[in-house]
C-alpha cells in the first residue's frame, strides 16, 4: 500500500480543510513573520495556538461542530463583503446622498441638492432637515 492510500484511509471520517483553515494558517504565517522582527515569546505562543487549532479542525471527527464554525465564519465574511460593496456603490453615486431617518433609522436615498431641505421619511412619516454641503 502506498502513502497516499494510507493518508486517504486516515482522513476518512475527518473534517478536512476549508476556508477557515486557510485564514487561520494565513494569520499564523503573518504573525510568525511579524515575530521575526519583534521577537516576543507571547506572540510565538499565539502562533503555535493558531496552528494547533487549525490542525485540530482538520483532524476533528466532530463534523457538525466544524461545519457550524465554518458557516459562522462565512456569514461574517459575507456580511463584511456586503457592507463594503454597499459603501462602494454609495460612494460612486454622485447624484444622491444617503441619510438615516432619526426616528426609525432607515437609510434614505435623497437627491443631492445643495442647501437645507426638509424631507419626510416614507416609513414613519416623520419630517426632518437635511443639510447638503456639496452638490
Specify the DSSP class assigned to residue 89: H
- Condensed to tens digits (0 to 9), the pLDDT of residues 30-54 reads 999 999 999 999 999 999 999 999 9
- Condensed to tens digits (0 to 9), the pLDDT of residues 100-126 reads 999 999 999 999 888 999 999 999 999
E strand segments, 1-135: 96-100, 107-111, 115-120, 127-132
The whole-model pTM stands at: 0.65
- For the record, the C-alpha cell of 90 comes out as 454609495
Q: Strand, coil or helix: what is 118?
A: strand
**Is the CA virtual torsion 32, 34, 37, 41 positive or negative?**
negative
pLDDT number for residue 64: 94
Q: Output the 3-class SS for 27-39.
A: HHHHHHHHHHHHC
Name the residue ranges covered by the structural domains of the chain.
1-92, 94-135
How far apart, in whole angstroms, are the C-alpha atoms of residue 129 and residue 24?
Answer: 47
Backbone angles phi, psi at 110, to 5 degrees: -115, 150
Q: Strand, coil or helix: what is 117?
A: strand
Amino acid at each position: 500500500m502506498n502513502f497516499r492510500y494510507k493518508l486517504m484511509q486516515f482522513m476518512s471520517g475527518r473534517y478536512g480543510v476549508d476556508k477557515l483553515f486557510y485564514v487561520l494558517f494565513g494569520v499564523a504565517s503573518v504573525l510568525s513573520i511579524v515575530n521575526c522582527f519583534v521577537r516576543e515569546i507571547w506572540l510565538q505562543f499565539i502562533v503555535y495556538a493558531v496552528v494547533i487549532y487549525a490542525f485540530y479542525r482538520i483532524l476533528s471527527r466532530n463534523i457538525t461542530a466544524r461545519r457550524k464554525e465554518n458557516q459562522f465564519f462565512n456569514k461574517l465574511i459575507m456580511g463584511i463583503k456586503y457592507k463594503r460593496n454597499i459603501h462602494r456603490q454609495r460612494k460612486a453615486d454622485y447624484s444622491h446622498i444617503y441619510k438615516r431617518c432619526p426616528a426609525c433609522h432607515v437609510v434614505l436615498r435623497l437627491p443631492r441638492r445643495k442647501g437645507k431641505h426638509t424631507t419626510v421619511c416614507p416609513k414613519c412619516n416623520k419630517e426632518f432637515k437635511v443639510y447638503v454641503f456639496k452638490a
